[in-house]
Amino acid sequence: DPDMPFVPSIPEDQFILVEEGDPAVIPCRTSDPDAQVTLVNNLDKSVHALYDTKQGFIGNFPAGSYTCKTMVTGMEFKSDEFLIYIIRATSQLPVEIEALKTVYKTGETIVVTCVVFDNEVVNLQWNYPGKVKEKGLIKLDDIKVPSQKLVYTLTIPEASVKDTGDYECTARHATKEVKENKKVAITVHDKGFVHLEPQFSPLEAVNLHEVKNFVVDVQ
């Protein structure tokens, strides 16, 4: 098609996630398999790479934006812009789940943290008793130094007995079929179940060098 020398690309194809050291495919394909195609970077400088008419340019590319060019009857055409992102990732998916405590009283705030190590881009999902009501607040902290880790924090304000159950996070690898899940059991009580009864007054006096005992009954 001389009016459309480059096959239209969908938006998902224009954002290319690549793990460090892995080759990437820039999918600018032509409607004419015999067309001569040039790849240029954001500085409009030519980039040398293998071209496959059914896939596009294949190679190890630095992060940045790339465009393909071709000539049709003396006119230059440009493809869509393709953005390559280099991500840090491992074939394994180390995940840890942490809870400040596992027993709460009604009205307290539940906090559970899921940490993914050595991977910059993952898809993480939470499962917990209040998920249907979207009760939880989720925050993400991307920590680079001293090492890469993604810290996902789930907060449940004003906990009730209905928030008792398993809190589970499932992390999925951005580019591989790898997933890992961890869970912790949380219990919420209607009220406190420890009763303290001090056997002394709010204010007590003691003489110098005197030994004074303070007794508390715990039920």
Q: Could you tell me the residue ranges of all domains in the chain?
A: 11-87, 95-189
The pLDDT assigned to 18 comes to: 86
Distance in angstroms (rounded) separating the CA atoms of residues 215 and 198? 6
What pLDDT band is residue 68 in, cutting at 50, 70 and 90?
very high
Helical H segments across the chain, by residue range? 11-14
Average of pLDDT values for 117-139? 91
pLDDT above 80: residue 151: yes
Strand ranges, E, within 31-102: 37-41, 50-52, 56-59, 64-72, 75-78, 82-87, 95-99
The pLDDT assigned to 116 comes to: 94
| Domain at 11-87: CATH code | 2.60.40.10
pTM of the model: 0.61
Average of pLDDT values for 170-188? 89
Q: In CATH terms, are 11-87 and 95-189 the same topology?
A: yes
**Is the peptide bond prior to 23 cis by the omega test (within 30 degrees of 0)?**
no
pLDDT above 90: residue 24: yes
| Amino acid in the structure at residue 122 | V
What pLDDT band is residue 183 in, cutting at 50, 70 and 90?
very high
Q: Which residue has the higher pLDDT, 91 or 27?
A: 27
- Which whole-number Å values give the CA distances from 128 to 68, 133, 161, in the listed order? 47, 10, 13
pLDDT above 80: residue 77: yes
The pLDDT assigned to 173 comes to: 84
The pLDDT assigned to 176 comes to: 76
pLDDT per residue as tens digits for the range 39-63 = 999 999 999 999 998 999 999 999 9
* % helix, strand, coil for the chain, step of 5: 5, 50, 50
pLDDT above 90: residue 101: yes
The pLDDT assigned to 46 comes to: 92
Could you tell me the fold of the domain covering 95-189? Immunoglobulin-like (2.60.40)
The pLDDT assigned to 17 comes to: 86
pLDDT above 80: residue 89: no
Distance in angstroms (rounded) separating the CA atoms of residues 39 and 183? 47
